[in-house]
């Protein structure tokens, strides 16, 4: 008997190319095995469930977590209260609104755009530090450090503390990526420790910013007095941790998948080199073609919900497979073609509805800058290994290493 589709998705052997499994999955738009989750894989059904107010993101509404291999093994959030990613309205809306007051329009329209010069500096610095161009690991040398530095600058972590921040972020990220050979309790413990230390560090920083605010995001979050009042310290800690975690591996994957896809499509890479403005459609098409978040496993039904003739019972666990919806031929012509010239790229890469990616403007800017600069500066870049080795994680899917070579670095 062939293994179940669910297990094929999780099976590491399929990490480099999960798309044939998704194609199989779409034949049953609502797929259900045993006591497992209900897996939804077609574009229109995924999108409509993301906008469905009968669907909750709050784990407390789950009838049980047994049977769902992803929620079962989800790492402990630790002592912090749930972040708004795992809350429903009105709490979700309140926290997201308060966070947005220090991040985006209308109150803070320049936060992201104002970081453009700084991001450019970080990218240039990382490319300048590359060293031996005969063998570059784009993940370790570029994609990994980039978003953590960005979040540090966004939050206002002092430069001298950035190194510690990187260590915690890496440990937490590794815990999201279970290595089957490592001791799970040991890994759990170090992730827990990292979370604790990060939490304590942030708590200290928040105290300091309350006393002496700067113009960084953490200062504004800690001192804001909007119509919703000020965030409680615990809420603020959860939110800061969310920004770090949600914006880390995702951005790493987008940049790495991006470079991998460009190297597999040298004509597009060449066009991007000649015209950095192409980065805009390239990044959108990447979010469709190789989305860093393959599926959203954290949804549950508040009542029985019928989807394409299948009744999903109240309290069931749902997986919404964004990456499959993005390749649905009912929605996209030639879905398996990477084509930044598509007229309409309404992908699900950032989700949709009230939980749609909060950091999207920043993520877009990061990825556009990173890819256009890499395209411009790497001379004759090529893949040393295809496919590259992947990380375990089936949800936040991306290469663990991306080994490339080039003839030199342009100034």
Partner 1 sequence: MIGDGFLERFRREGRIVVVGASLAGLRAAETLRDKGFAGSLTMIGDEPHEPYDRPPLSKQVLLGRATADRTALPRRRSVDATWRLGVPATGLDMAARRVRLGDGDEVPYDRLLIATGVRARPWPREEEAELDGVFVLRTRDDGAALARRLAEGPKRVLVIGAGFTGSEIASACRERGLAVTVAERGAAPLVGALGGVVGAVAAELQREHGVDLRCGVMVTALEGDASGRVRAAHLSDGSTVEAEVVIVSLGATRNTEWLAGSGLGAGPRGIACDAGCRAFDFRGIVTDDIYAAGDVARCPHPLFGYQFLSLEHWGNAVSQAGIAAHNMLSESTDRLPHMEVPAFWSSQFGVNIKSVGVPSLGTQVLITQGSLEEHRFIAVYGYQGRVIGAVAFDNARWLPFYQELIERTAPFPPQFPTVDRRAEGQRPVDAGFPDPSVPSHGPTVTLSGYSPADRRMTFTPAH
CA distance linking residue 3 with residue 34, whole number of Å: 13
Residue 296's binding partner among ligand HEM, partner 1, none (Cβ under 5 to 8 angstroms by kind) is: ligand HEM
Q: In whole angstroms, how close is the CB of 58 to partner 1 at the nearest point?
A: 8
Angle between helix axes 266-274 and 279-289 (nearest 10 degrees) is 150
Residue 52's binding partner among partner 1, ligand HEM, none (Cβ under 5 to 8 angstroms by kind) is: partner 1
Q: In whole angstroms, how close is the CB of 114 to partner 1 at the nearest point?
A: 19
The answer to whether the Cα torsion of 171, 140, 351, 116 is positive or negative is: positive
Q: Rule CB under 6 A: is residue 254 a binding residue for ligand HEM?
A: yes
Closest to partner 1 by CB, 55 or 268 = 55
Among 246, 278, 365, 371, binds ligand HEM (CB under 6 A): 246
| Binding string, residues 74-93; x marks residues near ligand HEM by CB under 6 A | ----------xx--------
CA distance linking residue 95 with residue 111, whole number of Å: 18
Q: In whole angstroms, how close is the CB of 239 to partner 1 at the nearest point?
A: 20
Q: Rule CB under 6 A: is residue 363 a binding residue for ligand HEM?
A: yes
Q: Rule CB under 6 A: is residue 70 a binding residue for ligand HEM?
A: no
Closest to partner 1 by CB, 131 or 226 = 226
Closest to ligand HEM by CB, 36 or 247 = 247
Residue 246's binding partner among ligand HEM, partner 1, none (Cβ under 5 to 8 angstroms by kind) is: ligand HEM
Q: In whole angstroms, how close is the CB of 49 to ligand HEM at the nearest point?
A: 10
Sheet holding 55-56, edge to edge: 30-32, 38-40, 317-320, 296-301, 55-56
Nearest of 282, 286, 384, 381 to residue 326 by alpha carbon: 286
Closest to partner 1 by CB, 188 or 315 = 315
Closest to partner 1 by CB, 330 or 356 = 356
Closest to ligand HEM by CB, 335 or 351 = 351
Residue 392's binding partner among partner 1, ligand HEM, none (Cβ under 5 to 8 angstroms by kind) is: none
Among 37, 104, 156, 247, binds ligand HEM (CB under 6 A): 247
CA distance linking residue 229 with residue 217, whole number of Å: 16
Among 26, 355, 377, 397, binds ligand HEM (CB under 6 A): 355
Tell me which residues touch partner 1 (CB under 8 A). Answer: 47-48, 51-56, 88-90, 93, 302-303, 353-354, 356
CA distance linking residue 43 with residue 57, whole number of Å: 19
Beta-strand pair 378-379/38-40:
unpaired
Residue 349's binding partner among ligand HEM, partner 1, none (Cβ under 5 to 8 angstroms by kind) is: ligand HEM
Among 199, 258, 351, 399, binds ligand HEM (CB under 6 A): 351
Among 15, 350, 390, 395, binds ligand HEM (CB under 6 A): 350
Q: In whole angstroms, how close is the CB of 246 to ligand HEM at the nearest point?
A: 4
B/e letters for 220-235, b = 16+ CB within 10 Å, e = fewer, are bbbebeeeeeebeeeb
Q: Rule CB under 6 A: is residue 263 a binding residue for ligand HEM?
A: no
| Count of residues interacting with ligand HEM (CB under 6 A) | 25
Residue 303's binding partner among ligand HEM, partner 1, none (Cβ under 5 to 8 angstroms by kind) is: partner 1
Nearest residue to ligand HEM by CB is 359
List residues near ligand HEM by CB under 6 A. 57, 84-85, 96, 242-243, 246-247, 250-251, 254, 291-293, 296, 298, 349-351, 355, 357-359, 362-363
């Amino acid at each position: 008997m062939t293994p179940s589709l669910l297990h094929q998705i999780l099976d590491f052997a399929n990490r480099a190319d999960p798309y044939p499994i998704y194609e199989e999955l779409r034949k049953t738009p609502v797929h259900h095995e045993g006591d497992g989750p209900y897996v939804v894989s077609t574009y229109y059904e995924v999108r409509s469930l993301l906008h469905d107010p009968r669907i909750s993101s709050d784990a407390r509404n789950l009838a049980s977590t047994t049977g769902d291999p992803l929620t079962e093994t989800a790492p402990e959030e630790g002592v912090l209260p749930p972040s708004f990613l795992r809350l429903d309205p009105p709490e979700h809306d309140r926290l997201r609104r308060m966070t947005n007051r220090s991040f985006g329009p209308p109150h803070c329209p320049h936060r992201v755009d104002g970081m453009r010069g700084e991001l450019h500096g970080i990218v240039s610095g990382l490319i300048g530090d590359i060293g031996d161009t005969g063998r570059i690991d784009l993940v370790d040398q570029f994609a990994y450090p980039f978003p953590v530095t960005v979040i540090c600058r966004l939050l206002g972590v002092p430069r001298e503390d950035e190194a510690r921040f990187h260590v915690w972020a890496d440990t937490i990220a590794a815990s999201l990526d279970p290595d089957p050979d490592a001791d799970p309790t040991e890994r759990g413990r170090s992730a827990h420790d990292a979370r604790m230390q990060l939490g304590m560090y942030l708590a200290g920083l928040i105290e300091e910013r309350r006393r002496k605010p700067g113009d960084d995001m953490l200062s504004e979050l800690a001192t804001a007095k909007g119509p919703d009042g000020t965030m409680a310290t615990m809420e603020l800690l959860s939110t800061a941790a969310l920004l770090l975690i949600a914006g880390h591996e995702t951005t790493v994957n987008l940049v790495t998948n991006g470079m991998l896809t460009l190297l597999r499509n040298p004509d597009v890479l060449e066009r991007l080199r000649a015209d950095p403005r192409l980065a805009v459609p390239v990044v959108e098409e990447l979010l469709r073609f190789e989305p860093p978040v393959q599926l959203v496993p954290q949804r549950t039904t508040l009542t029985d919900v019928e989807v394409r003739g299948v009744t999903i019972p109240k309290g069931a666990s749902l997986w919404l497979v964004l990456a499959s919806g993005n390749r649905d031929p009912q929605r996209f012509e030639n879905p398996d073609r990477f084509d930044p010239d598509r007229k309409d790229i309404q992908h699900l890469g950032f989700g949709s509805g009230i939980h749609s990616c909060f950091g999207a403007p920043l993520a877009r800017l990061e990825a556009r800058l990173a890819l256009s600069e890499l395209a411009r500066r790497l001379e004759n870049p090529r893949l040393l290994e295809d496919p590259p080795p992947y990380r375990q994680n089936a949800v936040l899917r991306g290469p663990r290493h991306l080994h490339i070579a080039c003839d030199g670095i342009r100034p």
